[in-house]
Amino acid sequence: MKIHEYQAKSILAQYGVPVPKGEVVYSAEEAGTAAKAIGGSVVVKAQIHAGGRGKGGGVKIAKDSSEAAVIAKQMIGMTLVTHQTGPEGRTVQRVLIEETLPIERELYLGIVLDRAQGKPAFMASAAGGVEIEEVAAKTPELILKEVIEPGQGLAPYQARKLAFGMGLPASAVSAASAAMRALAKAYEGVDASLAEINPFVLTTDGKVYALDAKINLDDNALYRHKDLLELRDLNEEDPLEVEASRFNLNYIKLDGSV
């Protein structure tokens, strides 16, 4: 089950991953109020279950609350088309108003299940802000990997190894390591099939944040997380897949005909 960015960030924050101050809103008026409360310039981010939102016009910076309201009014209700939505796009029904940060570096963190080893694999890369598939294809040497032993989590030495491997300054290694270990705890804690922070940023004042976040929940484990079922957004799913899920059927819509 996929969830929205703001929902993923809420989960990560509960486990100790630093996230920017932000609020999800459903109208231009709410956007202005949220931006005013945050203060200064803010980022207005469309919330859909797809990546590439920035290239499609779904991520914009507003210099103040008035501009945030104007941008939110334009975004809410628009059809956002990205490389992951297909040509039909997705209708934006909510936006995330978030503080801007003084970014120095963009990094990548992610956890997936390594089916060959039957264990979670923690991946990190200095090439943040770029699709990990593109990094793997063009510069695979930039992807660092540590296997997580089930029940033990990401060990401190593994986190430090990844932090230094990404070229982080010594002053930021402790904070980055703590964030990586917290991400691993969140992955295990909610029975995720994917947990990704892209980009994971280092700011000019030496702090680290999850600037974006993506979590996919393992459907087979949702019976253990009744509270997480409430995060499901049926408007973001294919109607046929929603119908199939009502009968506990595994169904993935594909192109073509039979």
Question: What CA–CA distances, in Å, run from 31 to 6, 23, 39, 188, 232?
Answer: 14, 8, 12, 33, 23
| Rounded to 5°, angle at Cα 191 from 186 and 196 | 55
- 196 among known catalytic residues: yes
d(C-alpha 120, C-alpha 154), whole Å: 10
The 3-state DSSP class for residue 57 equals coil
d(C-alpha 145, C-alpha 212), whole Å: 20
Q: Which helix (H) or strand (E) holds 145?
A: strand 143-147
Catalytic option among 30, 196, 209, 236: 196
- 108 among known catalytic residues: yes
Neighbouring CB atoms inside 10 A of 139's CB total: 13
Catalytic option among 6, 15, 30, 108: 108
Of 105, 121, 108, residue with least CA distance to 184: 121
Active site residues per annotation: 108, 196
